[in-house]
C-alpha cells in the first residue's frame, strides 16, 4: 500500500498526465476529422491556432515565471507568491475574454474562408475556461500535487469526449457546439481542484512585488512567445488562407500524430525549470549546466525512437488513422517528425537563460524569424505550396535555435569572467 501511495506522490505521475493530455488531443482530432471532415476541421483549426497563441502568452507571462521563481521562495512566502500570480491570472483572463469577444464580434468575418463572428460568445468562454484550468493544473504541479492535476485533466477530457460523441449521434455536432462542450468540460475540470485557491494568501504589497519579480523573467518571455507563435504559425496561417481549410486540416492532423512526443516535452517543462533554478542556487552555473545536459540526454533517446518510428511508418499511420485523403500527405508527417530532436534541443538553452534571468536572446531569435516569416511566407507558399511551408518551418526552427545558442554563450562567458 505504501508503494502505491509513494508512486502517486512522485513526479512519475507528471508523465502519466501528459500522456493523458496528448492521447486525448490525438483522439479528439481523430473524432473531429471522422465526424466533420477535413474542411470543417480545418476551419476549427484556424480558431484553435488563436487559442494556442493565447495559451503561449499565458505560459510566458504567468506560468513559466511562476515555475521558475517558486523554487526560490521559502515556506513563509510561497503561498503569498502563488496568490499574487493567481491575481495576475484573473486580470489577464478577464482582459483576454473581452478582447477576443470584441475582435470576433466586429472583425470576425474579415477572412471569407474562416467566418468567426458567430463564435463571439462561445470561443471567448473556451479561452477563459482553459486559461483557468491550465493555471490550476500547473499550480498543482508546482506544489507537487501531481495526482490532483491528473484527476482534473481526466475529468475534463472525459466530459469533453462524452459531449462530442453524444452530439454526433444527435446530429448536432458543429464548431459552435464543440466550443460549448469545451467550455463546460474544462470548467468542470477546474472546479474539481478549485479548493487549492483557498490555500493561497493575498497581500497587496506582496502581490505587486511578485508581479515585478516575475516581470523580470516574463517581459522577454512574453515578447518571445508572441514572436515564436508568429514565426512558426504565420507560415501555417498563410498556408490555410492561400491553400484552403483542407490543407490546414492536414497540417493539424499530422501535428497531432507527432504530439505523441508532447508528454516528454511537457514533463521537461514541468520539472526542469525549477530543478535548474535550484541547481544554480546551490552550485552556480556549472551545476545548472550539468543538470540540464543530463536531463536533455535522458529525454533524447525516446525522442529519437519516436522520430524513427514515424518516419518509417508515416504512410501506414495516416492511412489507418485518418484515411487515404490525408495519407497522400505522408511526406509532411515525415518532415514534422524530423523536427522533434530540434524542438528538444531548444529546451535546455531556454531554461538556462530563464534561470539566469537573461531571456532577451530568446526574444531576438523569435523576432528575427517572425520578420522573415512576415516578409517571405506568403510569397514562398504561393510559389511552392506545401513544400514552401515545410521549408519555412524548418528554417524558422533551426535559425531560432542557433541565435538562442549564441545568446547563451555570450552570457556564459560574462558570468565566467566575474
b/e 224-249 (16+ beta carbons within 10 angstroms → b):
bbbbbbbbbbbbbbbbbbbbebbbbb
pLDDT at 350: 86
Q: Is the pLDDT of residue 126 over 80?
A: yes
- Grid cell of 110 as nine digits: 474579415
Task: Scan for cell 514565426, then name that residue.
Answer: 231
| pLDDT of 314 higher than 80 | yes
pLDDT in the model for residue 336: 92
Cell numbers found for residue 22: 496528448
Q: What is the mean pLDDT of residues 236-249?
A: 93
Average pLDDT on 230-244 reads 89
- pLDDT score of 1 more than 50: no
More confident residue, 111 or 136: 136
Confidence at 260, pLDDT banded by 50, 70, 90: confident
Q: Which of 211, 195, 190 is nearest to 80 (CA)?
A: 211
Does residue 9 surpass a pLDDT of 60? Answer: no
pLDDT greater than 60 at residue 5: no
Residues contacting 17, CB < 8 A, separation 6+: 137, 146, 149, 150, 153
**pLDDT over threshold 90, residue 385:** yes
| Window from 232-246, 266-280, 295-309, 382-396 with minimum mean pLDDT | 266-280
Q: Tell me what pLDDT residue 72 has.
A: 74
What is the model's pLDDT at position 270? 67
Residue with cell 562567458: 413
The whole-number average pLDDT for the span 25-53 is 92
Ordered by start, the domain boundaries in the chain are 11-202
pLDDT over threshold 50, residue 2 = no
Does pLDDT of 159 surpass 60? Answer: yes
Q: Look at residue 356 in the predicted model and tell me its pLDDT.
A: 82
Residues 134-154 pLDDT 10s? 999 888 888 878 888 899 999
Flag whether pLDDT at 88 surpasses 70.
yes
| pLDDT confidence of residue 162 | 97
Nearest by Cα to 190 from 151, 162, 160: 151
Q: Indicate if the pLDDT at residue 161 is higher than 60.
A: yes
For the residues 70-79, what does the mean pLDDT come to?
77
Model confidence at 4, pLDDT cuts 50, 70, 90, reads very low
pLDDT band at 363 (very low <50, low <70, confident <90, very high): confident
Least confident stretch, 59-68, 91-100, 164-173, 179-188? 59-68
CA 16, CA 149: separation in Å to the nearest integer? 10
Q: Supply the DSSP string of 136-161, one letter for each residue.
A: HHHHHHHTT-HHHHHHHHHHHHHHHH
Query: Cβ distance 185 to 157 under 8 Å?
Result: yes
**For range 347-371, the mean pLDDT:** 85
pLDDT score for 67: 80
Does residue 418 have a pLDDT over 60?
no
User: What pTM was estimated for this model as a whole?
Assistant: 0.80
CA dihedral 201, 207, 213, 217 (to 10 degrees): 80
Amino acid at each position: 500500500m505504501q508503494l502505491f501511495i509513494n508512486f502517486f506522490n512522485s513526479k512519475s505521475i507528471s508523465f502519466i498526465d501528459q500522456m493523458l493530455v496528448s492521447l486525448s488531443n490525438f483522439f479528439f482530432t481523430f473524432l473531429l476529422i471522422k465526424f466533420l471532415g477535413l474542411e470543417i476541421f480545418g476551419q476549427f483549426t484556424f480558431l484553435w491556432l488563436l487559442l494556442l497563441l493565447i495559451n503561449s502568452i499565458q505560459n510566458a507571462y504567468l506560468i513559466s515565471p511562476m515555475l521558475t521563481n517558486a523554487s526560490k521562495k521559502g515556506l513563509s512566502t510561497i503561498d503569498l507568491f502563488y496568490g499574487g500570480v493567481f491575481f495576475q491570472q484573473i486580470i489577464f483572463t478577464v482582459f483576454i475574454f473581452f478582447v477576443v469577444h470584441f475582435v470576433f464580434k466586429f472583425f470576425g468575418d474579415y477572412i471569407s474562408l474562416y467566418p468567426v463572428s458567430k463564435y463571439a460568445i462561445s470561443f471567448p468562454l473556451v479561452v477563459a475556461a482553459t486559461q483557468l484550468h491550465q493555471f490550476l493544473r500547473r499550480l498543482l504541479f508546482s506544489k507537487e500535487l501531481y495526482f490532483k492535476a491528473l484527476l482534473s485533466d481526466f475529468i475534463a477530457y472525459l466530459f469533453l469526449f462524452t459531449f462530442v460523441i453524444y452530439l454526433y449521434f444527435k446530429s448536432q455536432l458543429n464548431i459552435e457546439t464543440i466550443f460549448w462542450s469545451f467550455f463546460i468540460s474544462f470548467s468542470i475540470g477546474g472546479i474539481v481542484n478549485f479548493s487549492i485557491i483557498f490555500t493561497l494568501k493575498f497581500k497587496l504589497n506582496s502581490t505587486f512585488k511578485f508581479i515585478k519579480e516575475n516581470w523580470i523573467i516574463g517581459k522577454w518571455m512574453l515578447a518571445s512567445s508572441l514572436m515564436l507563435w508568429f514565426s512558426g504559425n504565420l507560415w501555417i496561417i498563410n498556408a490555410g488562407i492561400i491553400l484552403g481549410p483542407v490543407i490546414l486540416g492536414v497540417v493539424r492532423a499530422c501535428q497531432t500524430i507527432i504530439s505523441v512526443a508532447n508528454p516528454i516535452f511537457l514533463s521537461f517543462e514541468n520539472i526542469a525549470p525549477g530543478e535548474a533554478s535550484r541547481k544554480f542556487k546551490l552550485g552556480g552555473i556549472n551545476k545548472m549546466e550539468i543538470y540540464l545536459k543530463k536531463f536533455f540526454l535522458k529525454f533524447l533517446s525516446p525522442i529519437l525512437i519516436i522520430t524513427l518510428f514515424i518516419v518509417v511508418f508515416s504512410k501506414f499511420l495516416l492511412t489507418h488513422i485518418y484515411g487515404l485523403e490525408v495519407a497522400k500527405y505522408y511526406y509532411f508527417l515525415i518532415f514534422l517528425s524530423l523536427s522533434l530532436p530540434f524542438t528538444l534541443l531548444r529546451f535546455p538553452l531556454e531554461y538556462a537563460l530563464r534561470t539566469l534571468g537573461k531571456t532577451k536572446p530568446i526574444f531576438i531569435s523569435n523576432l528575427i524569424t517572425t520578420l522573415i516569416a512576415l516578409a517571405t511566407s506568403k510569397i514562398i507558399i504561393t510559389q511552392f505550396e506545401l513544400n514552401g511551408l515545410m521549408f519555412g518551418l524548418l528554417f524558422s526552427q533551426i535559425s531560432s535555435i542557433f541565435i538562442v545558442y549564441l545568446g547563451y554563450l555570450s552570457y556564459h562567458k560574462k558570468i565566467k569572467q566575474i
